[in-house]
Amino acid sequence: MPSYVVTGSNRGIGLAFIRQLSEDPKNIVFALARDPDNSQELQELHKSRKNVHLLQGDITDVKALKAAATKVGSVTGGKLDYLVNNAALVDFNRQELSPDGYTEGQEELLEDDYLKSFKVNVIGVIHTTNTFLPLLLKTSETTVAKIISLSTGLADPELTVIGKLTDLSPYSVSKAALNMVVAKYAAAHKDNSNIVFLALSPGLVNTALKPPTPEELENIKKTIATFKKQYPDWSGVPLTADQSVGYMLDVIKKVTAADTGAFLSHWGNKQWL
């Protein structure tokens, strides 16, 4: 029975992973969230599907992660097949500022913005991966284990320069660092052909909890227009979380040891939209 841990699973893409993976009763699905008790969708899935287990944990809290890993091990007999590092801080504060957009006197604000994104999107993912790694390595003794970390096309330096994408700098920079974290894990475990590390972008996905304000709508239109210039054939319509997860699960299924350390899109290549 394949086992999956998905972080940040109470909403958005993480919740769609839980919904789709738990449709197959053969899968054992662990939904890790900061506050699973307050997620109605997770609670309903937990009640209606025997294969959904809830775990509490902030990915920056090593103690909570360790308790979660112990719980997973006790259900699976000490193994884990897939870890999906989905949780992230997507910080829209000062979204339009490039690194040189902070004015004099805003140095502390700059540090705070970048460190906040790094703490969750880089260090949080490292803590999560390290905590669950013994379970994944146990799986790799007999079959393939995969660690998928959700990245973004905004972490692609080429697209950034060509598209003049200055927006969401702390987030994009932290995700670019995450891509290197994935490469480092891949390098460290390169001799183990039963373990695959992958940075995977989900495409542009509508995970908004409420309709955008007029100002947000303007920003979204601007972003879509920028992307359209790079991808003239793109429809301009964001994916739903379920569509994106469907595409990503195909990629996750297909990747092998030959792909370890790669940074791919939901199409399994470098086409980000």
Measured CA to CA, the distance from residue 108 to residue 123 in angstroms comes to 20
Asked if 202 interacts with ligand NAP (CB under 6 A), we say: yes
Nearer to ligand NAP, 96 or 141 (CB): 96
Binding mask 22-61 for ligand NAP (x = CB under 6 A): ------------xx----------------------xxx-
Minimum separation from the CB atom of position 226 to ligand NAP (A): 14
HSE toward the beta carbon, residue 202, CA cutoff 13 A = 28
> Is residue 13 a contact residue for ligand NAP (CB under 6 A)?
yes
Instruction: Catalogue the active-site residues.
Output: 171, 175
Answer for the pair 52, 73: CB distance below 8 angstroms, yes or no. no
Name the minimum Å distance from CB 47 to ligand NAP: 20
What is the DSSP track for 92-105? -TTTT--GGGSPTT
Place of tokens 């502390």: 108
For the chain, what is the radius of gyration of the CA atoms? 18
Measured CA angle at 126 (ends 186, 204), to 5 deg: 85
Q: Does 20 bind ligand NAP (CB under 6 A)?
A: no
Q: How many residues bind ligand NAP (CB under 6 A)?
A: 26
| Ramachandran area for residue 78 (φ above 0: left; ψ -120 to 50: alpha; else beta) | left
- Contact set for ligand NAP, span 208-267 (CB under 6 A): none
Minimum distance between the CB of residue 104 and ligand NAP, rounded to whole angstroms? 31
Site string for ligand NAP, 76-115 (x = CB under 6 A): ----------xxxxx-------------------------
Told to check if 120 binds ligand NAP by CB under 6 A, we report yes
Between residues 28 and 204, which has the closer beta carbon with respect to ligand NAP? Answer: 204
Determine the residue with CB nearest ligand NAP. 12
Is residue 130 part of the contact set for ligand NAP (CB under 6 A)? no
Contact 172, 152 (CB under 8 A): yes
Asked if 196 contacts 259 with a C-beta cutoff of 8 angstroms, the reply is yes
12 binds ligand NAP (CB under 6 A): yes
Cβ nearer to ligand NAP, comparing 39 with 139: 39
Does position 152 interact with ligand NAP (CB under 6 A)? The reply is yes
Tokens of 21: 């993976």
Q: Are strands 52-56 and 28-33 parallel, antiparallel or unpaired?
A: parallel
Locate 82 and state its tokens.
């897939």
Nearer to ligand NAP, 83 or 88 (CB): 88
In sequence order, which residues have a C-beta less than 8 Å from that of residue 111 and are 6 or more positions away?
none
CB of 182 closer than 8 Å to CB of 199: yes
Q: Which is nearer to ligand NAP, 3 or 174 (CB)?
A: 174
Q: How many CA atoms lie within 13 A of 245 on its CB side?
A: 21
Q: Which residues bind ligand NAP (CB under 6 A)?
A: 7-8, 10-14, 34-35, 58-60, 86-90, 120, 124, 150, 152, 201-202, 204-205, 207
